[in-house]
A = this chain, B = another copy of it.
């Protein structure tokens, strides 16, 4: 590992980008933000306020000039990823890209092709759940076969509420996409089919939104993984998984911490945002990416994982629209490049 700090350009200075910029300043060893790429100049200025040596840019191409950066962290909305990924790959810098890789499998394939022009994978994808201690513990339990083979997963993905721009298909493409990555990662094999069922509608959800829904995935060996996607639960932010094995059960995602007894009841505090629920996972993800990038490698989900998720996502949207079970077809087999 080089001893020099990794020079990072953060692309996108919205909520997610600002979070990452603060993370580099306060928690991450071995990296510093040297540029912020953001078309909105006021927002860009605000983002670098505490970073006197960081520059602001409106275009990724400017940041990539003259070998002034080693890496980019992409925190723009998904539809803008391709326009950043392609020049960044061409420049050969290290990349941490927030999920999704791109909004559809076709554009994801283009990214895979561009990346394969390089010597090795340069893109790490921001599926941060893989860095959550409980998900890691569950994956190890599954891999150990200590409780026998895995048979089913029951997942719940609950958000307090959604905003104006959030549509029914985004239940799949924006939210359940996390399960599309983490289920194959847990099970150790790809998703083979998907079906979607609508539950009784939550009257507190926006009128246009069919919320909640039940998504049922099957992996190739027949593991059933049902996902309750429920994004106007009001009470908090909660992501849980119950794994059903041949001779045991395991559960992750229930909140703990300080417990109180008062007023004839007892209990604790639930998360209300992914930021606190997955704070440690985000920190770990970025630190491990920095460590890997300084060593010329990645240490997390790759662009290939992003392509898989994009493909499953399209099948799930079709399942949601048709009400039918949809078999998932992957356009290409996994290139050796990603093994």
Chain A residues at the B interface, C-beta cutoff of 8 Å: 1, 3, 24-30, 50-53, 133-134, 137-138, 141, 147-152, 154, 156, 158, 197-204, 212, 214, 216, 221-224, 226, 228, 230, 233-236, 238, 244, 246-252, 254-270, 272, 280, 287, 291
Chain B residue nearest to A205 (CB atoms) is: B246
Residues of B within 8 A of A230 (CB): 151-152, 244
CA distance in complex: A154, B197 (Å) = 14
Instruction: Take A53-B3, A222-B201 as given contacts and tell me if A265 and B258 are in contact as well, using a CB distance cutoff of 8 Å.
Output: no
Shortest Cβ-Cβ A-B pairs, 8 listed: A267-B267, A256-B256, A248-B262, A234-B247, A200-B222, A199-B224, A249-B261, A137-B258
For residue A86, give the distance in angstroms from its CB to the closest CB of chain B.
31
Residues of B within 8 A of A151 (CB): 199-202, 212, 230
Instruction: Take A150-B200, A212-B152 as given contacts and tell me if A256 and B254 are in contact as well, using a CB distance cutoff of 8 Å.
Output: yes
- Are the CB atoms of A258 and B262 closer together than 8 Å? no
Instruction: Take A53-B3, A230-B244 as given contacts and tell me if A199 and B249 are in contact as well, using a CB distance cutoff of 8 Å.
Output: no
- Are the CB atoms of B223 and A248 closer together than 8 Å? no
- Are the CB atoms of A149 and B265 closer together than 8 Å? no
Selected from B247, B258, B260, B266, the residue in CB contact (under 8 A) with A255 is B266
CA distance in complex: A152, B226 (Å) = 13
A-B contact pairs, 16 of them (CB 8 A): A3-B51, A26-B291, A27-B287, A148-B204, A149-B203, A151-B201, A198-B222, A200-B224, A202-B246, A203-B246, A212-B244, A214-B224, A248-B260, A254-B256, A255-B256, A266-B269
Residues of B within 8 A of A264 (CB): 235-236, 269-270, 272
For residue A184, give the distance in angstroms from its CB to the closest CB of chain B.
15
CA distance in complex: A136, B12 (Å) = 33
Selected from B149, B202, B267, the residue in CB contact (under 8 A) with A200 is B149
Instruction: Take A152-B214, A154-B228, A212-B152 as given contacts and tell me if A247 and B222 are in contact as well, using a CB distance cutoff of 8 Å.
Output: no
Selected from B156, B222, B251, B272, the residue in CB contact (under 8 A) with A258 is B251
Residues of B within 8 A of A27 (CB): 27, 29, 287
Residues of B within 8 A of A24 (CB): 29
- Are the CB atoms of B259 and A247 closer together than 8 Å? no
Selected from B51, B148, B250, B254, the residue in CB contact (under 8 A) with A203 is B148
Chain B residue nearest to A160 (CB atoms) is: B264
Chain B residue nearest to A250 (CB atoms) is: B260
Q: Given A148-B204, A236-B261, list of 5 further CB < 8 A pairs?
A: A3-B53, A200-B223, A249-B261, A251-B260, A264-B270
Residues of B within 8 A of A50 (CB): 1
Instruction: Take A29-B27, A214-B224 as given contacts and tell me if A235 and B254 are in contact as well, using a CB distance cutoff of 8 Å.
Output: no
For residue A106, give the distance in angstroms from its CB to the closest CB of chain B.
31
- Are the CB atoms of A137 and B257 closer together than 8 Å? yes
